[in-house]
Amino acid sequence: MQNMVLAGRLLFPIIDGVPEGGRLTALATLADETLMSRFRDGDTEAFEALYRRHRAGLHRFARRMVPDDADEIFQEVWLAIVKGKRRYVPSARFVTYLFTIAHRRAAEKLRTRGRAQELSDGADQGDTVMDDRLDPLGSAVNTELGRALSEAIDLLSVVQREAFLMQAEGGLSLEEIAQATGTSRETVKSRLRYAYRRLRTALEDWK
């Protein structure tokens, strides 16, 4: 990956079309935390391997949370990772660290749009319709089932969608989602229960 500078800021391409090879292939076998620790110590290729591993899931998360600001959130999260590398301590999984930053950036964008309350505990029952752009979530992508799933996810409340996406795109556990969002495990469990119930109801015709 070749980082470019645009208006004084790093530009992280979502897709750069450059195949992995050589040392990057070897680095791709290492754990996230090992890669981040190596990057902290000056190994830029370790960051590239880490970036390639998580860029797609992170961008899908941002696009579904705040569609109009998704690209900006994506850039800001990776820039925060780069700027904060010296302070990184692997006290939790890297992906939890990544999505904690993403949660904060999404909350900031929603706040500027007067929608910050949608990320509060009291917003679990509200429905917020997002855009209808598709993303490759699971094997159902670009099929009628994929479109139905996409629409169903977009109809979840913001907090339900966030918990679902952190689990689906980041593989976070209940405890990790709670840590990333600053809530309790039981709150996350409740949000996911509502999310999966709504998704099952929306997809009943596909049983």
Contacts of 16 (CB under 8 A, 6+ apart): 1, 2
In a domain, 192, yes or no: yes
**On the CB side of 179, how many CA atoms lie within 13 Å of its CA?**
15
The CATH number of whichever domain residue 184 belongs to comes to: 1.10.1740.10
Q: Determine the pLDDT at residue 142.
A: 52
In a domain, 124, yes or no: no
Contacts of 131 (CB under 8 A, 6+ apart): 67, 154
Structural element, H or E, at residue 10:
strand 9-11
Tell me how far apart the alpha carbons of residues 100 and 180 are, in angstroms, rounded to a whole number: 4
Residue 68: is its pLDDT beyond 70?
A: yes
> pTM of the predicted model, to two decimals?
0.78
In a domain, 190, yes or no: yes
Asked whether 18 and 1 are in contact (CB, 8 A), the reply is yes
Q: Determine the pLDDT at residue 204.
A: 83
In a domain, 35, yes or no: yes
Provide the domain limits for residue 158.
4-13+21-119+129-206
Q: How does residue 53 score in pLDDT terms, banded at 50, 70 and 90? A: very high
* Total number of domains constituting the chain: 1
Mean pLDDT of the chain: 82
Ramachandran quadrant class, 66 (left: phi over 0; alpha: psi -120 to 50; beta: rest): beta
In a domain, 62, yes or no: yes
In a domain, 30, yes or no: yes
Q: Please give the residue that has the higher pLDDT: either 141 or 73.
A: 73
* Tokens (6 digits) for 100: 């904690």
8-state DSSP, 176: H
- What's the pLDDT tens digit per position in 78-127? 999 999 999 988 889 999 999 999 999 999 999 887 754 455 544 444 33
In a domain, 140, yes or no: yes
5: helix, strand or coil? strand
Tell me how far apart the alpha carbons of residues 63 and 10 are, in angstroms, rounded to a whole number: 19
